[in-house]
Structure 1
Amino acid sequence: MTTSEQKSRTVLSLGSNLGDRLDNLQEGIDALFDAPGLDFIAISPVYETKPVGGPEQDDFLNVVIVADSSVAPQSLLERVLNIEESMDRVRDVHWGPRTLDIDIVTVNDVTSDAPELVLPHPRAHERAFVLVPWADVDPDALLPGRGRVADLLPAVAGQELRRRDDLSLQPPA
């Protein structure tokens, strides 16, 4: 848990595969930083990815955000869930299509096995759409309990992922 004076390096992964995917990501980013407690550090390039698991569905646009947070992880989770709900996120089908998905990947070296918030994210090390953009913005990043993100990349090299340099997102105002 953090106090208002402490900042925790926080990594968030955002994805969208319904509606205007790029606009959904931008709205999610803006909403994350509208409330106090998150200080923007970096945003990755946009990637287009095939869905992992779940039913057949459209491709995702994905980005990774790095921020310094003075918000407790549980409070950050509440913020994330409220943003997803405000953007009509539907949770009817496990790993189904979504307007916006925001995952808390890491909060410093905090570990948690709480059912509502497992930290670090339990599948981050298996997902190219998390690791590749994260490595773009923080080449020396560490995934607690798994090691250097750069060292995890070969294990996900076979996953379909395409950098979309024709698309970009704006840092929060």
Structure 2
Amino acid sequence: MVSAYIGLGSNLDAPDGQVERALRELDALPQTRVVARSRLYRTAPWGGIAQPDFINAVAQLETGLDARALMRALLTIEHRAGRRRDGERNGPRVLDLDLLLYGDQRIDDADLQVPHPRLHERVFVLVPLAEIAPDFAVPGQGRVRELLARIDATHEVVPADEAT
């Protein structure tokens, strides 16, 4: 079994429900269970496209699936939720699942990069990840809490139940 961390996000079609549903589907994957999850966080969108705020979370899985099989499963869950990868980057989406970390492995292929290549600069990933794994050492980057301390996270990400 390998510990893997998944970033979850949605800003369309009842985002809170989309993320909660995806968490249940992750827990139902073969040889896999969700062992920890963050709260839901509300995050302002970035990338210059006008769109609703996102709901983000991170889940820790224990899985017997290899990294590629897990990534295929994530894409299947996204597709079932209605996600269509049409080439638009940073736009609104019904569900986004990112394989952030897969144990201490480093994978750098055309179709899969682990750790996620922008994990260390994304506050909407680091805040929920730090909630459940602050001392996890991201291969080649440092501990999660140290990565979070390097960026300004004070105004961009707030717990969804505290957002106004």
Q: Distance in 1 between matches of 2:147 and 2:137?
A: 10
Q: Which residue is 1:34 aligned to?
A: 28
Deviates more, 1:31-40 or 1:15-24: 31-40
Q: Which residue is 1:3 aligned to?
A: none
Runs of 4+ displaced beyond 4 Å:
none
Identical-pair percentage: 37
Deviates more, 1:84-93 or 1:154-163: 154-163
> May I ask how many residue pairs the two structures share in their alignment?
161
Q: Distance in 2 between matches of 1:90 and 1:14?
A: 16
Letter aligned with residue 77 of structure 1? M
Q: Can you give the 5+ residue segments of structure 1 that lack an aligned partner in the other structure? A: 1-6, 168-173
Q: Can you give the 5+ residue segments of structure 2 that lack an aligned partner in the other structure? A: none
Q: Which residue is 2:108 aligned to?
A: 113
TM-score (norm 2): 0.92
- How far does the alpha carbon of each residue in 1:42-67 deviate from its partner, in whole angstroms, 9 at most, with x for none? 01011100123252211100000011
Q: Which residue is 1:171 aligned to?
A: none
| Equivalent of residue 156 in structure 1, options 141, 151, 155 | 151
Letter aligned with residue 70 of structure 2? L
1:166 Cα shift? 5.5
Superposed, 1:21-170 pairs within 5 Å as: 21-53=15-47, 55-92=49-86, 93-158=88-153, 160-165=156-161
1:139 Cα shift? 2.2
Letter aligned with residue 42 of structure 1? A
Structure 1 SS opposite 2:150: helix
Superposed CA RMSD in Å reads 1.5
Q: Distance in 2 between matches of 1:12 and 1:132?
A: 13
Structure 2 SS opposite 1:165: helix
Structure 1 SS opposite 2:113: strand
Q: Distance in 2 between matches of 1:78 and 1:32?
A: 12
1:141 Cα shift? 1.5
Deviates more, 1:131-140 or 1:73-82: 131-140
Q: Distance in 2 between matches of 1:90 and 1:97?
A: 11
TM-score (norm 1): 0.88
Q: Distance in 2 between matches of 1:117 and 1:163?
A: 30
